[in-house]
Structure 1
Amino acid sequence: DLGERTVEEIMLHRSQIEMIDADLPPQQIIDLCLNSAHTRLPIFRGEQENIIGVLHAKELLRAIHPRLSDPEASADPFKGFDPMDVAMKPYFVPETTTLDDQMRQFLHRSTHFALVVDEYGALEGLITLEDILEEIVGEITDELDPDEVHPLRRTEGGDCVIDGAMTIRDLNRATDWSLPDDEAVTVAGLVIHEAQTIPTVGQVFSFHGFRFEILERHNNRITRLKIGAL
């Protein structure tokens, strides 16, 4: 029921958001947009928490095209060009917003992209209209979706090796498991919640009928782990 689920449950976690630094040279910003699999990219200044706009690749190219095609343009067509002039104002939504309400807001505002924040205004993730539609009709494969390695890999013994940032929802969908997602969004978050500590590589925990082994950790983030049924 979309009226009972929140955007926090299905959002893309902040650790996986592709962002662009507003202080990069214009040509580099355009190159990053062209090489991205996403059409909309948040742009920040200073710290990544300070998102000042959202760049749409199509609008960015439309704005720079006259400079590139004008034979009388200066030797540097990017001189004086500010990508922020075509950036959209960032749209922030609370993590507690229901999927039903968020879908209505997307349709009302004629936009497909929102940044999710917690009660203190800290960035938690992003959500798109496509994410919500996938909850209704199943996964939507976009023609621009990259052929990426799936974040879940099965071992010969039947265990699953996954990225710590994988959402519990996606893991349950891929495996037909029923790990609880009421206390955490990602699998790494679930492990930290249950262990009440940030585990070290090699530690093993058992809860909810599964065995969790920490394979990789970067700073305080669990980046890879192996899960198997007990």
Structure 2
Amino acid sequence: MSEDNPHSSRGSASRSWLERIANIFNAEPQDLSDLEDIISEAAMRELIDTDTKDMLQGVLDVSKMRARDIMIPRSQMATIDIEQPLSEVLPILLENNHSRYPVVNEDKDHIEGILIVKDILQYALDDKNNDWQWSNLVRPAVIIPESKKVDALLREFRQKRYHMAIVVDEYGGVSGLVTIEDILEQIVGEIEDEHDDHEDHDIKKMASRVFQVSALTPLDEFNESFGTSFDEEDADTIGGIVLHAFGHMPARGESITLGDLKFKVSKANSRRLMQLQVIQPRKSEEEGN
């Protein structure tokens, strides 16, 4: 009488999973649905962990995307006008904390090139240098169509060592931009940098009535700090409350008033809110004077 061997069973399952992957690649499938099923099954069998599954799924998703699917829309592009003096450019750099900015001539349909922030530092620090020219700083812009495949774009980013591309529609008008970070975030999730707010800086006072607030601030923490009573059944974070109130994904600069507080979107992308500016009313407004 034979007994079942659990180790043999697990080994058979592993071999079966590997054989199925080999068969899929040997068959050169026309779509990715079979491979997606196998990745999901591998995660369920704990042959790969959840993070690995998510990254593999992200890679498969990227292979099906076009530039239009992940671009930062035109309305949310932070740009610098080529006619702006250095004194007006520096506040834009400080407000947005990007490393690269499209430089435009009059409007966003006329892109002169890309400004890399590190290139401007030597001029910003030299008070005696008053004869600098934008033409010495602006680098050529890479222009791509909305239909550009994202996996091909990532390959070009790596091979040609550029990090930003301007996306144009079929008529040549600028419809947005894509950075290498936007693509990587599709694979590995949101990438935080040294400028992103962390948990210990969810709420930061900027002026007497103005606060910078992370959109991920827990609602109970926000209510306690501002004396509000937003319902935690509606959302877990203040960003969720604001997003629900807008009824759409707002662009940077859009504002809305909830109760006595004015909320202005100070940082967002096409997928989520990141930072909000919260403005309290003046005392005279509170007292009805």
TM-score (norm 1): 0.60
Mean Cα deviation higher: 102-111 or 140-149 = 140-149
Task: Note the 1:112-131 alignment, pairs <5 A.
Answer: 112-131=163-182
Summarize the Cα distance change of 1:97–1:64 in structure 2 as closer, same or farther, 3 Å threshold. Answer: same
Structure 2 partner of 1:144: 195
Distance in 2 (CA, whole Å) between partners of 1:151 and 1:84 is: 40
Q: Distance in 1 between matches of 2:176 and 2:66?
A: 13
Read off the aligned partner of 1:27 and give its amino acid letter.
Answer: S
SS across alignment from 2:109: coil
The aligned counterpart of 2:184 is 133
Shift of 1:16: 0.7
Structure 1 unpaired stretches of 5+: 168-185, 188-230
Shift of 1:64: 5.1
Check 1:165–1:120 CA distance in 2 against 1; reply closer, same or farther (3 A cut). farther
Q: Superposition RMSD on alpha carbons, in Å?
A: 2.9
Q: How far off its partner does 1:62 sit?
A: 3.2
The alignment-based identity, stated in percent, is 29
CA distance in 1, matches of 2:217, 2:135: 37
Which residues of 2 match residues 1-230 of structure 1 at below 5 A? 1=60, 2-63=62-123, 65=125, 67-68=126-127, 73=128, 77-78=129-130, 80-145=131-196, 149-150=214-215, 156=231, 157-158=233-234, 161-162=242-243, 164-165=248-249
Q: Is the 8 A contact 2:80 2:104 kept in 1?
A: yes
What letter corresponds to residue 66 of structure 2 in structure 1? T
Supply the distance in 2 between the matched residues of 1:84 and 1:29 (Cα, whole angstroms).
Answer: 15
State the shift of 1:28 in Å.
Answer: 2.5
Larger Cα-atom Rg: 2
Bigger share in helix: 2
Deviation at 1:36, TM superposition (A): 3.2
Aligned length: 161
SS at match of 1:42: strand
Give the Cα–Cα distance (whole angstroms) in 1 for the partners of residues 217 and 173 of structure 2.
Answer: 28
Q: Which amino acid aligns with 2:68?
A: E
Structure 2 residue runs of 5 or longer lacking an equivalent are: 1-59, 198-211, 220-229, 252-269, 272-289
Inter-CA distance 29–106: structure 2 relative to 1 (3 Å threshold): same
**Greater relative contact order: 1 or 2 (C-alpha under 8 angstroms, separation 6 or more)?**
1
Tell me, what secondary structure is at the counterpart of 1:48?
strand
Q: Which runs of 4+ in 1 moved over 4 A?
A: 146-149, 151-155
The AA in structure 1 aligned to 2:77 is I
Change (3 A) 1:106 1:113: same
C-alpha distance 56-103 of structure 1, shift in aligned 2 (>3 A):
same
Equivalent position amino acid for 2:87 in 1? Q
Measured in 2, the distance between the counterparts of 1:24 and 1:35 equals: 16
Q: Deviations over 1:55-94 (max 9, x none)?
A: 11101113555x44xxxx4xxx32x211231111111111
Letter in 2 for 1:19: T
TM-score by length of 2: 0.49
- The structure-2 alpha-carbon separation of the partners of 1:116 and 1:81, relative to structure 1 and needing over 3 Å to count, comes to same
The separation in 1 between residues aligned to 2:69 and 2:217, in whole angstroms, is 19
2:86 and 2:124 in contact (8 A); partners too? no
Q: Deviations over 1:118-144 (max 9, x none)?
A: 111111111111111111111111112
Counting strand residues as a fraction of each chain, which structure ranks higher? Answer: 1
